[in-house]
Chains A and B, each alone.
Chain A
Amino acid sequence: MTFPEKTSLRPSMYLVLIFTAIIGYDMLSNPLVSVKALGNSGYFAPLAAAVPVIAIIIAMFALQKRFPGKSGVQCASLIIGHVPAVIINLLLIIFWRVFAALSARDIMTLVSTQMLLKTPLWFFSTIGYLGIMYLAYHGIESISRFVAFTFIPATIIIIIVFCAAFPYIDIRQLLPVLDFSITDLIKGAFSMSYLYFPLILLFLITPYTKKLPSARRFTMAALALSVLVFLIQNICAIGIFGTSGLNRYTWPTLEFAHVINIRYIALEQIGVVLLTVWLVLTFGAAAFNYWGTALALSQLFPKISYKMAVLILALPTGLVLLLPQNIIDTRFYLLIFERWGVLAFFGHPLILWLIAVIRRQGKES
């Protein structure tokens, strides 16, 4: 006996959802990638990577404007025909799910090393994944509510932890500023672009709003906020450990949080607070990703209902989650996906939009 809720996805929810999706994916290890690309000036990498992403966001919203009420998956059939659309969308879904599962595995390994050395990884991974599936099963409204509930406290705590690290920064580690060539910057932007892969979710959530311009503004705000978080985080990590020091750690953000020492606080390590809070964001982000792939699957094959799609994806996701032997395996596969992901996550919507523009398909503004 339910009475439909009328809250739907307000434009402001875009900020919360997109921010959580980006931050909840990889916040703890990205300084490693940024220093590899740009050295001491690595903190520019997330910023540089965000610039082309703006074009992708605009393309996704433009696509939605051309085909109102249709998701990216549904647009593809109208633009390139049913069979090619099924093939490329299916590839995207597989790529996306495997990537999400590997990212989840990376996080579970982190939990294992930081919190649960003695507990079998499969046990708590399964518990965590069941929770994510449960939330995803109930659809976007529940996911958005979960994310909205956790967004404010989690973001505040994360920013406080980062700010608490400021006194430990050695400014010399951050110098010289702008010590890179344009080629390095482009390479850095390319290698860091994986941080924004979750933006592919816009492909599916745009049909849920009618106020497109506001939604686009809030999406941009979410991007700006996440870039700010990445920037502060990279400045802290590089400033505290330096380029050479950073390479020693698998999760540098967590390590710099460990350095923070606040006397008389109940917990000995502030890093655990950061990890705990981030895990909550990750939970919401993972459910959002799961929802995206399940919805895409159900739209691709209309005979499969959304809830059925959630269940269909459960087993393969679980297998991929438990497949890697250790963190080296996980990172190896993730690296492959991060390199090729640009084509799948950003190329896909951009190419569709370009074809639609060239062939004058959909509603011309």
Chain B
Amino acid sequence: MGFRSRGGMTPIGPDPVGNAANVAKALGRATDLVIRKIPRDDCVKGDAAADARDGSSSVRAVVLFLEGLADEEAIRRHIITPLLADAATAAAAAGTATAIAHFSAANELSALKSSTHETLEPLIDALLEGQVLLFADGCHTGLAFVMPGWSLRPLSEPPSEKAIRGPREGFTETLRENIAMVRRWVRDPELRVTKMQIGTRTHTDVAIMYLGDVANPDIVAEVRKRLAAIKIDAILEAGYLEQLITDSRTTLFPLTQATERSDKVTSAILEGRVAIIVDKSASAIIVPTTVNELYQSPEDYYYDFWLGTLLRVIRLIGNNLAIALPGLYIALAAVNSELLPTQLALNIAASRLGVPFPILLEVLLVELTIEIFREAGLRLPSTVAQTLGVVAGVVLGFAAVQISIVSNATLIVSVTTAVASFSGPNFQVGISWRWLKYFMILGGAFMGLFGIVAVGCFIVAHMATLQSFGVSYLAPWAPLQPDALVDAPLRQPLWLKFRRHSTWRTKNRRRMGDTRGEDNP
């Protein structure tokens, strides 16, 4: 583990409080680390004078565990209660490894899977795995008990971020479970978790997660500053925070990345970004973000280079179709039809014969109808949604073409656009594209191909003015960052991902050593 590699082995001292402090220090004083001190029997009874007389610690034992990772009820029943019980006092107070083992065997603890260690490092590893640590006064051995406790509610795959391959777990509405989910991925003491409360009435717990030795401290400080600056009575969802900490409050584009997937958050943290998790919200916020990130998915890396690259390219094409296709169709069919091959232009014109509306109105009509279907589809009971979708889509579309309200060509363009708008893994940016599609439609209708170019330039110009926590929104395209650009339209092979991208300005850019396969012995 990372902790061990950074220093030598630390022996466990006789003072349980000191051992606990060492563990807390190693974890960067993580706020999800629970330290439970068990007082000596005479201290419980208030005999502090006796404690002072013999010079020994007033704490008999210390129990440590990470909140959310261990079963707190089991800890209370199997560890805390027996330790506090009179029967255990004598054995535990004796303060030797034998006594601890004896105590363990004499109590219900023997039923649990446990291990003993004489150095701190393996115990920290065990703690990060979700085990419970026990340090006893005068004892140079620490105990680790396996008491998993993180699956409090069934996890499910986020409906808007489904993946063919990869973990099926999405965040839940419990902060500690969500933190634990990330902890389960990153068993590194450098994973920092800082909690704060926002909302004068709701006192909503908000956690900031990042890798202490990787994330840019300026960005972390900026995140803390922006969160601390929020003065609001209630935070009901992560979306509240997104709107309050964004760099630009008027832009259409999401300048933070919201996700319900724990692997996406973990991947972002490992890249050196900062995750913000909000209690009672299944969405986590990742900052900084770039537009490039919004069409990427961790799933890309679960496949090999070829498949991952194909997925990305398809998404890229899908996104571009979703924004530009209807506008381009209008521009080429109505304004600059001389640019189309003759046969194609004739076919489009033929399909529009009998349609009483101008092409702009026709496209807007179909687009608006699809938007209504989409919005209604979200709220329809799942049992009828599919049937109604078929009825609305196929039957209505067919009927509309039959009575020449819309043309076949327009229907093809609009349906392709609607499907393409779902090709990206980020729902928020999909909405931005939907908005911009209408600007493209108007640009194409009023100024043809020039209008498309002009609106496209406006969009890119606007995106060029945006930044997310000090990172250009267009990175790695602009400013040009060749190391990150390799991983932008294509998916960089894992065996070439030696360094973290310069986009995030991380402290530590090294990701992997010289990993050679069989082909390169």
Residues B468-501 near A (CB distance < 8 A): 469-472, 474-475, 477-480
Q: Contact check: which of B245, B463, B472 meets A1 at CB < 8 Å?
A: B245
Known: A135-B464, A142-B464, A142-B465. Is A149-B474 also a contact (CB below 8 A)?
A: yes
Chain A residues with CB under 8 Å of B344's CB are 266
User: A134 to chain B: which residues have CB within 8 Å?
Assistant: 458, 461-462
Return the contact of B448 from the options A6, A116, A150 (Cβ within 8 A): A116
Residue from A12, A115, A283 within 8 A of B457 (CB atoms) = A283
Is A149 in contact with B464, judged by CB distance below 8 angstroms? yes
Complexed CA–CA distance, A266 and B449 (Å): 14
A151 to B480 CA separation, bound complex (whole angstroms): 10
Min distance, Cβ B224 to any Cβ of chain A, angstroms: 12
A265's closest neighbor in chain B, by CB? B341
B338 within 8 A of A: yes
B467 interface residue (CB < 8 Å to A): yes
**A10–B246 CA distance with the chains assembled, in angstroms:** 26
CB nearest to A273 among chain B residues: B339
What's the minimum C-beta distance from A214 to chain B, rounded to whole angstroms?
Answer: 14
A133-177 interface with B by 8 A CB criterion: 134-135, 138, 141-152
Let me know if A3 and B222 touch, CB within 8 A: yes
B247 adjacent to chain A (CB < 8 Å): yes
Min CB gap A337→B, angstroms: 25
For B218, the chain A residues whose CB sits under 8 A away are 3
Inter-chain contact B454/A131, CB cutoff 8 Å: yes
Q: Which residues of A contact B226 (CB under 8 A)?
A: 1
CB distance from A24 to the nearest CB of B (A): 12
Bound-complex Cα distance A135 to B454 (A): 12
CB <8 Å contact, B479 and A7 = yes
Number of A-B contacts (CB under 8 A): 122
The answer to whether B457 touches A280 (Cβ under 8 A) is yes
Which residues of the other chain, B, contact A123 by a CB distance below 8 angstroms?
A: 447
> CB of B340 within 8 A of chain A?
yes
Contact partner of B478 among A119, A135, A148, CB < 8 A? Answer: A148
Question: Is the CB–CB distance between B247 and A144 below 8 Å?
Answer: no
**Once bound together, how far apart are the Cα atoms of A5 and B342, in whole Å?**
50
Tell me the bound Cα distance from A3 to B255 in angstroms. Answer: 13
Closest to A13 in B: B479
Chain A interface residue count, CB cutoff 8 Å, equals 45
User: Which one of B446, B453, B471, B477 contacts A149 once the chains associate, using CB atoms below 8 Å?
Assistant: B477
B453 in contact with A5 (CB, 8 Å): no
- Known contacts A119-B447, A279-B450: A150-B460 contact under CB 8 Å: yes
A222 to chain B, nearest CB (A): 13
Known: A5-B472, A7-B472, A143-B464. A266 touches B341 (CB 8 A): yes
A272 and B458 form a contact (CB under 8 A): no
- Interface presence of A128 (CB below 8 A): yes
> Given the complex, which residues of B lie within 8 Å of A326, measured CB to CB?
none
Any B CB within 8 A of the CB of A340: no
**B397 interface contact, C-beta 8 A:** no
Given the contacts A16-B480, A138-B464, A131 and B450 also touching, CB distance less than 8 Å: no
Determine whether the beta carbon of B470 is less than 8 Å from that of A124.
no
Determine the distance from Cα of A272 to Cα of B448 in the docked complex, in whole angstroms.
12
**A142-B465, A146-B478, A268-B338 known; A116 vs B447 contact (CB < 8 Å):** yes
Select the residue from B245, B464, B474 with max chain A CB neighbours within 10 A.
Answer: B464
B148 at the interface (CB under 8 A from A): no
Interface residues of A in 234-273 (CB under 8 A from B): 266-269, 272
Q: Is B505 an interface residue (CB 8 A)?
A: yes
Additional A-B contacts beyond A5-B472, A152-B477 (18; CB < 8 A):
A1-B229, A1-B246, A1-B247, A3-B218, A5-B467, A13-B480, A115-B449, A116-B335, A119-B448, A123-B447, A134-B461, A145-B479, A149-B463, A149-B477, A266-B341, A272-B449, A276-B449, A283-B457
Contact residues of A with B, CB < 8 Å?
1-7, 10, 12-13, 16, 111, 115-116, 119, 123-124, 127-128, 131, 134-135, 138, 141-152, 266-269, 272, 276, 279-280, 283, 287
Q: Could you name 26 residue pairs across A and B whose Cβ atoms are closer than 8 Å?
A: A3-B247, A5-B472, A6-B505, A10-B479, A116-B448, A116-B450, A124-B447, A124-B450, A127-B454, A131-B458, A134-B461, A134-B462, A135-B465, A138-B465, A142-B461, A146-B460, A146-B464, A149-B463, A152-B480, A266-B344, A267-B339, A267-B341, A269-B339, A272-B336, A272-B449, A279-B457
